[in-house]
Amino acid sequence: METFAGFDRPSGPAGVRNYVAVIPVSVAASAVADAIADRAGEQVHSTPHQMGTDPPEQAREQIERTLSGIGTNPNVGAAVVVELGTESTDADAVADAIADAERDVEVLRIRDRGGTSAAVEAGVEAADRLWADIAGLERTEQDASQLIFGVECGGSDATSGIASNPAVGRACDRLVEDGGTASFSETPEFIGAEHILADRCESESLRERLLERVDFRESAAQLMGVDLRGAQPSPGNQEGGLTTIEEKSLGAIVKGGTTAVRGLVDYAESLPVGGGLVLMDTPGYDIESVVGKVAGGAQIVAFTTGRGSTTGNPIAPVIKVTGNPKTAERLASNMDIDVSTILEGESIESAGDRVYDLLLEVASGERTAAELRRLEEFAINELQPNELAQLRENA
Amino acid sequence: MKGEVLGGVGLQMSRDDNVVTAIDDVEAGAVIPYDSGEVGVEEAVPFGHKIALVELAPGDEVHKYGEVIGRATERIEPGQWVHTHNCRSTRGRGDITDGKEEVA
């Protein structure tokens, strides 16, 4: 059984990082959250986003679910929740969810503090206080089965389906074999490959639910009377040799490996520990999609890229994997592992084992290229009108 | 890697695929051994892009990974570049209605 050196939490699986999260509930509190994290110590990370102060009810639920998930991610030891004071998104509900996971949490209201300067001051003090309580925590040996591994692809090209995604898929298979959880998402990028995933679903009800979700995402294009081809594959994907969404999807789904599909959760919904391969229903935007899985509990992410994406995440380390030899060379400082060697004859098993070894090293504290450069992109998926309508219908 | 590199030029991911993926920038005139004969590459094809192994008529399925990735929209000769100019998705087409697709 593989192990890593991680941080015990009072509840839930071990963390691979030990952070104080500063979580704004709206765009109106995001600048203050950023300022707090900038001034507090290096272990204090903010999650700024663009969500408004009074979103529709279903959107608000998704924002609260996402922020609660971020605050209870195993990498978060304590949190400060920041609000302006006018938001319908409930800072106290988010804080309660974090407290329920037995993490220390404080709520900071900018208006109550008498403005942004005083709020930043108070926020830095709170973050320092919370950090002092968790700073002494040391890494101990943890079973790999506690890991929830989020996998993502972005800036895909033809090498994604040939090299980087199969290599990461092999690492997912290794982790699932060791009792852990692997998750990938981006439902629009199941289109044309959904029959393969459907055949691997553990139950008939799961299979039906998966196909319904794919239909919904595909019909979204129909509903708007537009051709999905304008966006899928993207112009960059096309330049990289991907002609159709089917081709992109067939290359994309291999990043989840070859094991049975054991579940399908909503955006930012909790991913099970020891859950095998679990899909998350998300749109096809990399950063939102990574955030959804981190809010679902993923402690660590692998992000494959052919053309070269540099994005990270404030809460979970993001391992950059490329199968494109030109990108491996040109963007060497932003890549963590080069599996373009597969094109030269390295087996997928061997390259995938290197990814799995790196996963355990990063879980144990080795910093990724995105972490070293403090690339910490964060965005929450904003529900579109047709999605809100469907959620209202199902309510 | 999965599949087989034909003549050091193109990767055939699955045995029934009718296209290969260029594993480097390919010049016109390169030769791909295929089906006990050979296919001459007709035009320059960039790294990662696809080359037809067989003749495809408009509407014919294009196969990669042993799966359908789209349909030819015009006649494609063996050795020609296969991409958005002559191959289209059959999915996510909000601009067309079911059963009334025009591929030509």
Picking from A165, A216, A244 by the largest number of B CB atoms within 10 A of its own CB, the best residue to mutate is A244
**For position A386, what pLDDT does the model report?**
83
Domain borders along chain A are 19-136, 144-372
The tokens for A131 are 């950090």
**For position A2, what pLDDT does the model report?**
96
Q: Mean pLDDT, to the nearest integer, of A53-72?
A: 96
Judged against a pLDDT cut of 60, whether residue A227 lies above it is answered with no
Contact A79, A123 (CB under 8 A): no
B46: closest chain A residue by CA: A241
pLDDT category at B100 given cuts 50, 70, 90 is very low
Judged by CB atoms closer than 8 Å, whether chains meet at A158 and B70 is answered as no
| CA-to-CA separations, B7 to A63, B19, B41, B55, in angstroms, rounded | 53, 14, 12, 19
Contact A279, A184 (CB under 8 A): yes
Tell me the per-residue pLDDT of A260-276, one tens digit each, with 9 for 90 and over: 999 999 999 999 999 99
**For position A186, what pLDDT does the model report?**
94
Q: Mean pLDDT, to the nearest integer, of A246-264?
A: 97
Asked if A189 has any chain B CB less than 8 Å from its own CB, the reply is no
CA-based nearest distance A360→chain B, Å:
24
Judged by CB atoms closer than 8 Å, whether chains meet at A222 and B94 is answered as yes
ipTM: 0.92
Rg (CA), chain B: 14
- Single out the residue of B36, B40, B6, B33 nearest to residue B21, CA to CA: B6
CA-based nearest distance A347→chain B, Å:
6
Which option is the CATH number for A19-136: 2.40.50, 3.40.50, 3.30.160, 3.30.1490?
Answer: 3.40.50
**For position A284, what pLDDT does the model report?**
84
Residues contacting A22, CB < 8 A, separation 6+: A33, A36, A37, A40, A44, A45, A46, A47, A79, A80, A82, A123, A127
B64: closest chain A residue by CA: A247
**For position A223, what pLDDT does the model report?**
59
Q: Could you give the CA distance from residue A56 to residue A388 in angstroms, rounded to a whole number?
A: 8
Residue whose tokens read 């971020």: A70
Tell me the per-residue pLDDT of A116-171, one tens digit each, with 9 for 90 and over: 999 999 999 999 999 999 999 999 999 999 999 999 999 999 999 999 999 999 99
CA-based nearest distance A236→chain B, Å:
12
Average pLDDT, chain A: 95
More confident residue, A386 or A302: A302
Please, what are the domains in chain B? 4-88 (2.30.130.110)
**For position A141, what pLDDT does the model report?**
98
Judged against a pLDDT cut of 60, whether residue B102 lies above it is answered with no
Q: Could you give the CA distance from residue B50 to residue A161 in angstroms, rounded to a whole number?
A: 13
**For position B104, what pLDDT does the model report?**
41
Judged against a pLDDT cut of 70, whether residue A67 lies above it is answered with yes
Q: Mean pLDDT, to the nearest integer, of A34-38?
A: 98
Q: Mean pLDDT, to the nearest integer, of A79-87?
A: 97
Asked if B77 has any chain A CB less than 8 Å from its own CB, the reply is no
**For position A107, what pLDDT does the model report?**
98
Q: Which of B21, B68, B84 minimises the CB distance to A158?
A: B21
Rg (CA), chain A: 20
Q: Say how many CB pairs under 8 Å bridge A and B.
A: 109
pLDDT category at A390 given cuts 50, 70, 90 is confident
Picking from A190, A195, A226, A246 by the largest number of B CB atoms within 10 A of its own CB, the best residue to mutate is A246
**For position B101, what pLDDT does the model report?**
47
- Count of other CB atoms within 10 angstroms of residue B17: 23
Q: Is the peptide bond prior to A235 cis by the omega test (within 30 degrees of 0)? A: no
Q: Which of A157, A159, A166 minimises the CB distance to B2?
A: A166
Asked if B2 has any chain A CB less than 8 Å from its own CB, the reply is yes
Judged against a pLDDT cut of 60, whether residue A351 lies above it is answered with yes
Q: Which of B13, B48, B93 minimises the CB distance to A228?
A: B93
